[in-house]
Amino acid sequence: MTAGLSELKAEDVGVLICGHGSRNRQAVEEFASLADGLRPRMGGLPVEHGYLEFAKPILRDSLDRLRAQGVKRVLAVPAMLFAAGHAKNDIPSVLNTYSAETGLTIDYGRELGVDRLMIAAAGARIQEALAQSPSDVSLEETLLVVVGRGSSDPDANSNVTKITRMLVEGLGFGWGETVYSGVTFPLVEPGLRHVVRLGFKRIVVFPYFLFSGVLVSRIRQHTALVAADHPDVDFVSAGYLGDHALVLDTFVERVQEVLGGETAMNCSLCKYRAQVLGFEAEVGLAQESHHHHVEGLTDGCELCEHECTGACQPDGIPIPLGGGHQHSHDHAHEHGHGHHPYPHADHPLGPETLRKVSAKGEPFDTET
């Protein structure tokens, strides 16, 4: 698979894996580990990884490192599950600016997307969780809930739903539902409180995430809240994708696509290019990054020893870090960040309304 890549070593080609960045140390370590796992799969090509914000190296520094190794052409791939604002706007803006300033050729690949390998990796994580569960409930009596990141881009949100359906049919679950960790609706806790009414004996909650972080922690916490109210239902928490071998294989395929000129993003349902229902005002918005004000900021959260517990957001609102800066990797897309306002922020099962307190006195998540 890497034969074509190895032939490019003499042509001064390098690879850049582009991430968002996080204050969570475990998430940053996992991303770096993924990059390390990709290096032996790239046929000896120089491989660097970089972030938009909240971690180092930032993308510009990683591009500098590639140039220092003699690289004249960069194959850049976004480490994003779906193409929303970060993959469509923020990362391309940084890369285009750098290319214009330095003359470095940068070819940009597509997101991981709805892909057979990614679905297989997700299926493997779910099967691992089922294998560890003592319950003997059949798959036909089990409901699968897939939790997506959540975005203000309906195209990205709809892709999570497709992943859910592929997993439900592929594995034979009795039913499937999709909820989200932030920005859109339904969010995790209210979503689970709805699906538990369907009467299934077992519910598997699978976070369709690449890495750890506050959102994964909150998914587990909100699952536990609902599970405590329904002791007759067996709740099973599956692990996130991480650096599963099939995820790494998908990255290799994305790099191969760049080489073959096969990079094709879905523009028919992209809110920036087409009149998507409810998002018509966003057609033609300028391509720009909203991360310059925090690029390279590395004030990490030290409230947790390693894996994020959500302690930085005890009431769903982030504790300021780094001199009171309110922005965080896992949220705040609509708070002074330059994004177009999400049209359903007042939906009763999501976004802004989740600042309200639930009937049990527990705060809902406010990841927006």
pLDDT of residue 49: 98
Q: Say which residues have a Cβ less than 8 Å from residue 261's Cβ, sequence separation at least 6.
A: none
Q: Which of 240-244, 291-295, 364-368 has the lowest mean pLDDT?
A: 364-368
Indicate whether 35 pLDDT > 70: yes
> CA-to-CA distance for 125 and 149, rounded, in angstroms?
17
Put simply, whether the predicted model's pTM sits higher than 0.85 gets the answer: no
pLDDT tens for 177-233 read 999 999 899 999 999 999 999 999 999 999 999 999 889 999 999 999 999 999 999
Q: Which of 92-101, 286-295, 309-318 has the lowest mean pLDDT?
A: 309-318
pLDDT tens for 8-22 read 877 999 999 999 998
pLDDT of residue 345: 73
pLDDT of residue 290: 53
Within 10 angstroms of residue 203's Cβ, the number of other Cβ atoms is: 25
Indicate whether 50 pLDDT > 90: yes
Q: Which of 54-58, 152-156, 334-338 has the lowest mean pLDDT?
A: 334-338
Within 10 angstroms of residue 342's Cβ, the number of other Cβ atoms is: 22
pLDDT tens for 138-185 read 999 999 999 999 988 888 899 999 999 999 999 999 999 999 999 899
Average pLDDT, the chain: 82
C-alpha gyration radius of the chain: 20
Indicate whether 311 pLDDT > 80: no
pLDDT of residue 254: 96
Q: Say which residues have a Cβ less than 8 Å from residue 128's Cβ, sequence separation at least 6.
A: 238, 239
> CA-to-CA distance for 54 and 295, rounded, in angstroms?
7
Indicate whether 104 pLDDT > 90: yes
> CA-to-CA distance for 63 and 104, rounded, in angstroms?
9
Amino acid of residue 191: G
> CA-to-CA distance for 1 and 113, rounded, in angstroms?
20
| Segment (H or E) for 85 | helix 85-85
Classify 187 as helix, strand or coil. strand
pLDDT of residue 120: 97
Indicate whether 325 pLDDT > 60: no
Indicate whether 324 pLDDT > 80: no
> CA-to-CA distance for 196 and 175, rounded, in angstroms?
11
Indicate whether 307 pLDDT > 70: no
- pLDDT above 90 coverage of the chain, percent: 60
The token duo for 101 is 């300033």
Torsions phi, psi for 77 (to 5 deg): -125, 130
Indicate whether 76 pLDDT > 70: yes
Classify 355 as helix, strand or coil. helix
